[in-house]
Structure 1
Amino acid sequence: MLDVGFSELLVFGIIALLVLGPEKLPEAARFAAKWYSKFKRAISNVQNDIDRELRLSEFREQMQQEMQRIQELEKKMEAQMQELQQQKILAEQETSLESKTFNKSINYYKTDISMPLIYQSKNWFELQNCSQPPLRIVPIETNTPELKVAV
């Protein structure tokens, strides 16, 4: 704080001894030390208060930055949620349209289930007005062994 050396303190002490005298010098030294310590404590308290306020202001700035960051993330999340909801709605609409067209196509091409597949394709070709090569139906001979039960 003050750049005071030993020789300067010695000169100051001799002057104080001459001015105050040997009886009042110890009392004056205690008084000066007491006020010096009060002054030093007051200055350190002020410095601590200033440091605390600076830290609080920095903390407030950090908090504001974090709050802004959180708000930006919330906005992004909301936008993503809306996008997902729109995609879900579009997907539901597409599936409903597909099911409607599928149902129409099923109704349009409805055939008898008991009818063999070969005739079902013939009916489909007829509905589409397509030409189909003539079908050859070949009977299949099966050799099934007869089961005999012994009694």
Structure 2
Amino acid sequence: MGAWELVIVFIVGLVVLGPERLPIAIRTVSRWVKTAKQFGQSVQSEINEELRVHELHNNLKEAEEKGMKNLSQDLQSSLDELNQAAQSVTHSYKKTGEKESKNDK
């Protein structure tokens, strides 16, 4: 919106709502806009993450088809990333298992 459009909206809001309720309405609308922006950013980050996972999955399939030999740099970096993720899950699982076994004693 341009500056003149905002001025017109403000004047119409002032006439319709009055000076007492206009600040409350502005705060409410700004909260709605903020919530909508946060929702949009959340959806965008989830879509980006899903696309990244899909790309990693496709790279893994391609690497398996090549027999894990003579891989391009992109495929090798994808495999390294997947290995690191698998190791981090394994390590956290072992820590959880260790805590449970200590609690059993």
Shorter-normalised TM range: 0.5 to 0.7
1:70 to 67, 70, 79: 67
**Greater RCO, 1 or 2 (C-alpha within 8 Å, sep 6+):** 2
What does the per-residue CA deviation read over 1:107-142, in whole Å, with 9 as the maximum and x for residues that have no partner?
A: xxxxxxxxxxxxxxxxxxxxxxxxxxxxxxxxxxxx
Match of 1:12 in 2: 9
Q: For 1:71 and 1:8, how far apart are their aligned partners in 2? A: 61
Structure 1 residues 1-151: aligned runs within 5 Å = 4-70=1-67
Q: CA RMSD in A?
A: 1.5
Matched position secondary structure for 1:21:
helix
Taking structure 2 as the reference length, what is the TM-score of the superposition? 0.62
Matched position secondary structure for 2:66:
helix
What does the per-residue CA deviation read over 1:24-80, in whole Å, with 9 as the maximum and x for residues that have no partner?
A: 00111111111110111011111111111111101110111111112678xxxxxxx
Q: For 1:33 and 1:71, how far apart are their aligned partners in 2? A: 53
Matched position secondary structure for 1:70:
coil
* Aligned partner letter, 1:25: L
Q: For 2:68 and 2:18, how far apart are their aligned partners in 1? A: 73
Taking structure 1 as the reference length, what is the TM-score of the superposition? 0.44
Q: For 2:27 and 2:37, how far apart are their aligned partners in 1? A: 15
Structure 2: stretches of 5+ with no match in the other structure? 71-105
Report which of the two has the higher share of helix. 2
Structure 1: stretches of 5+ with no match in the other structure? 74-151
- Once the two structures are TM-superposed, the CA of residue 13 in structure 1 deviates from its matched residue by 0.7
* Aligned partner letter, 2:13: A
Q: For 1:17 and 1:8, how far apart are their aligned partners in 2? A: 14
Larger Rg: 1
